[in-house]
Amino acid sequence: VYSLDGLLVFGLLLVCTCAYLRKVPRLKAWLLSEKRGVWGVFYKAAVIGTRLHLAVAVSCVLMAFYVLMVK
């Protein structure tokens, strides 16, 4: 997380993980029920992941290409 590309990878992984966890009913009620505060970050990441799923998927593919081939 000490560089820009590390921060982007961390953000993409957070968004993808929260969007996946939103599909699991028990975890949705437990982890993604708060919309404010520290736990609200997970809720907002899940909303971003579900609403912008195409842009997040393309970003993940581009970041994977960057990390594997360029870096």
pLDDT single digits (tens) 32-44: 888 898 889 999 9
Which range of residues forms the domain containing residue 28?
3-70
Distance of CA 55 to the CA centre of its chain: 12
- pTM (two decimals): 0.84
| Domains: count for the chain | 1
Per-residue pLDDT, averaged over 16-41, amounts to 87
